[in-house]
Amino acid sequence: MTFRIKMALVMVIAIAGMTLAATGLMDRALARVGLGELHRANHRYLDESYDSALEGFLVLSAVKSGLAVIEGSEVGIGFNLQVGDLVQSVYDYVDIAWKTVLAGGTILFMARLALDGVAMTDHFVMALAFFGLLMLASGRCFFPNRTGMIRFLRSVTATFTVLTLTLYLVLPLAVYGVSRLSERITRPLIRQSYDAFDQVSRTFSQDAAEGRLDGDGKGASAMQTARGVADRYERLKKRLGELEAYLSEQGRNLAGTTFQLIAAYLLDCVIFPLAFAVVLVLFLKGVSAYLTQAQRDRRLAETIRETARPVSTSPPNA
HEC letters along the chain: CCHHHHHHHHHHHHHHHHHHHHHCHHHHHHHHHHHHHHHHHHHHHHHHHHHHHHHHHHHHHHHHHHHHHHHCCEECCCCCEECHHHHHHHHHHHHHHHHHHHHHHHHHHHHHHHHHHHHHHHHHHHHHHHHHHHHHHHHHHHCCCCHHHHHHHHHHHHHHHHHHHHHHHHHHHHHHHHHHHHHHHHHHHHHHHHHHHHHHHHHCCHHHHHHHHHHHHHCHHHHHHHCCHHHHHHHHHHHHHHHHHHHHHHHHHHHHHHHHHHHHHHHHHHHHHHHHHHHHHHHHHHHHHHHHHHHHHHHHHHHHHHHHCCCCCCCCCC
Which residues share a beta bridge with 81? 75
Residue 222 has pLDDT above 60, yes or no: no
Backbone angles phi, psi at 82, to 5 degrees: -80, 105
304-309 long-range contacts, CB within 8 A, separation 24+? none
Q: Residue 218: which pLDDT band, with cuts at 50, 70 and 90? A: very low
Q: Residue 15: which pLDDT band, with cuts at 50, 70 and 90? A: very high
Residue 172 has pLDDT above 80, yes or no: yes
**Residue boundaries of the structural domains of the chain:** 3-292
Q: Enter the pTM of the model.
A: 0.68
pLDDT of 95 reads 85
Higher pLDDT, 219 or 239: 239
Residue 131 has pLDDT above 90, yes or no: yes
pLDDT of 310 reads 59
Q: Residue 118: which pLDDT band, with cuts at 50, 70 and 90? A: confident
pLDDT of 264 reads 86
pLDDT of 226 reads 46
Q: Which tens digit of pLDDT belongs to each residue from 30-61?
A: 888 888 888 888 888 888 888 888 888 888 88
Residue 316 has pLDDT above 70, yes or no: no
